Amino acid sequence: KNARLTLDPAFEIAPVSRRLFGSFVEHMGRCVYTGIFEPGHPRADEHGFRTDVLELTREMGVSVVRYPGGNFVSGYRWEDGVGPDRPTRLDLAWRQIETNRFGLNEFMAWTRTAGVEPMMAVNLGTRGIQEACDLLEYANHPSGTHWSDLRVKHGVAEPYGIKLWCLGNEMDGPWQIGHKTADEYGRLANETARAMRMVDPGVELVLCGSSNSHMPTFGAWEATVLEHAYDAVDYLSLHAYYEENGDLDSFLAAAVDMDRFISSVIATADHVRAKLRRSKSIKLSFDEWNVWNQSRYEGREQGDFEESPELIEDTFTAADAVVVGDFLITLLRHADRVSVACQAQLANIIAPIRTSPGGPAWRQTIFHPFALTARHARGTVLRVEPRSPLLDTSRYGEAAQLSAVATVDEEGVTVIAVNRSAHEELDLIADLRSIGPLHVAETHLLAAGDDPHATDAAVVPLANVRLDGGELRALLPAASWSLIRLT
């Protein structure tokens, strides 16, 4: 079987936003404590940051990091995490003991060392407008007021100028502390956004969409919260996690669902735009996405409170990596509307980077497609007009066997492709006649066909890539992710 693409520099979708290569650090399990932060570890720096994890974060090409939650933020008092007095608290979201040894200033110092942009979330579960404004004043106001002077007293003379702020987290979810109806949340988010802009007009604000597209209120929630807060916000959030759960054929096509989810949210946001007669378009922030074997997770509604418990430390497989690669293709294909995306989470919690306390840090399979896409997808995303055989999946219905995207930059072209069939290879034929003379500079392949559940899947060169007379041909193995760089 074969599938065809056409690459033409005139078919532009949008510039590649670096913010699509975001990640997420939540005070959950061992993401912060013994993940990115472990004073006394042999590789810890003077702040207690694990330099092995910092190196891997940079290697991965992470651009934005969302913090401090997640469900955690909906019960969080940010003041506990700044200054010399750090009270120990119960975290009700994950039944943890939170020591608050790591807080805003530690996170900001970590982001600077990692070379990433911070994306903060405010608590709209147990708290509201005032605390969000206080936090923003502490972080972004130069000096001469109570909160900004407190930051200066805490040793940070210059304001941080944090741009991206999430207005709460998953407020539609009944599990959320301070869960709200769409009307309750929409009003609160709108008023919080208006007040935050009075403190700092330069902020970019993210309104909570649904926790996932299977929520009973999905669609209606988006429409209602946007009707309340359309003018006050810049982005609407999306969250989605996928798992194999005994159906590899469907799982390999999971990005079809992500694609439909994005299209549905765009349609809903544009419906509200029409209804309100506005010209501004709402952008999307896909600020939690990943593979997560959620059916194996038993929840933490009961049991003892623990300090940095081992939570959802999933070990990823070759198939997971192929699917993660396909999610990145999907996000890039929607780069005209999806401006921010965060893989959840960075360390230990369903993460590309795992650590052992006192011991090493290592890359999981899903690390590789992320790192290679972040490195090579540059410049402008192109619409590639794929023509592909179809697969029939029990979970997602009809799915194109080929998922692909291309980017073009000043030095060359990157083609990224996934063959979603678990069983059949696919001949990829790309028409490059409009692009000009190029040669194959490097190729990368992560194939899951032989052993989809291998946890040590490696990236190898993609063999037999040919470029002849403006036609690129490559044989994509079953269940594989490939990247071809042409210069």
Give me the active site residues, please: 170, 288
Distances (CA, A) of 175 to 38, 290, 376: 30, 20, 39
Nearest to 98 by CA among 88, 109, 83: 88
User: 83 with 64: CB under 8 angstroms?
Assistant: no
Tell me the closest approach of the beta carbon of residue 28 to ligand AHR, in angstroms. 6
- Residue 189 or 428: the one with the smaller Cβ distance to ligand AHR is 189
- Residue 75 or 386: the one with the smaller Cβ distance to ligand AHR is 75
Query: How deeply is 480 buried, as exposed, middle or buried, from its count of CB atoms within 10 A (0-12, 13-18, 19+)?
Result: buried
User: 404 with 384: CB under 8 angstroms?
Assistant: yes
Tell me the closest approach of the beta carbon of residue 200 to ligand AHR, in angstroms. 25
Tell me the closest approach of the beta carbon of residue 30 to ligand AHR, in angstroms. 13
Using the rule CB under 6 A, give the single segment among 37-45, 68-76, 313-321, 327-335 that binds ligand AHR.
Answer: 68-76
Using the rule CB under 6 A, give the single segment among 32-40, 63-71, 332-340, 367-375 that binds ligand AHR.
Answer: 63-71
Using the rule CB under 6 A, give the single segment among 36-44, 60-68, 69-77, 473-481 that binds ligand AHR.
Answer: 69-77
- Residue 93 or 430: the one with the smaller Cβ distance to ligand AHR is 93
Cα(174)–Cα(179) distance, rounded to whole angstroms? 6
Q: Is 407 in the site for ligand AHR (CB under 6 A)?
A: no
Which tokens sit at 51? 């330099």
Q: Is 325 in the site for ligand AHR (CB under 6 A)?
A: no
- Residue 345 or 482: the one with the smaller Cβ distance to ligand AHR is 345
Q: Is 240 in the site for ligand AHR (CB under 6 A)?
A: no
- Residue 106 or 170: the one with the smaller Cβ distance to ligand AHR is 170
Residue of 6, 22, 23, 26 that binds ligand AHR (CB under 6 A): 26
- Residue 24 or 147: the one with the smaller Cβ distance to ligand AHR is 24
- Residue 345 or 348: the one with the smaller Cβ distance to ligand AHR is 345
Cα(273)–Cα(287) distance, rounded to whole angstroms? 22
Residue nearest to ligand AHR (CB): 70
Total residues in contact with ligand AHR, by rule CB under 6 A: 11
Q: Is 71 in the site for ligand AHR (CB under 6 A)?
A: yes
Nearest to 23 by CA among 31, 15, 11: 31
Q: Is 288 in the site for ligand AHR (CB under 6 A)?
A: yes
Tell me the closest approach of the beta carbon of residue 72 to ligand AHR, in angstroms. 6
Residue of 48, 70, 118, 386 that binds ligand AHR (CB under 6 A): 70
Using the rule CB under 6 A, give the single segment among 15-23, 45-53, 67-75, 181-189 that binds ligand AHR.
Answer: 67-75
Tell me the closest approach of the beta carbon of residue 375 to ligand AHR, in angstroms. 25
- Residue 100 or 393: the one with the smaller Cβ distance to ligand AHR is 100
Could you say which residues in the range 333-362 bind ligand AHR, by CB under 6 A?
344-345
Tell me the closest approach of the beta carbon of residue 241 to ligand AHR, in angstroms. 7
Could you say which residues in the range 141-200 bind ligand AHR, by CB under 6 A?
169-170
For binding to ligand AHR (CB under 6 A), which residues are involved?
26, 28, 69-71, 169-170, 211, 288, 344-345
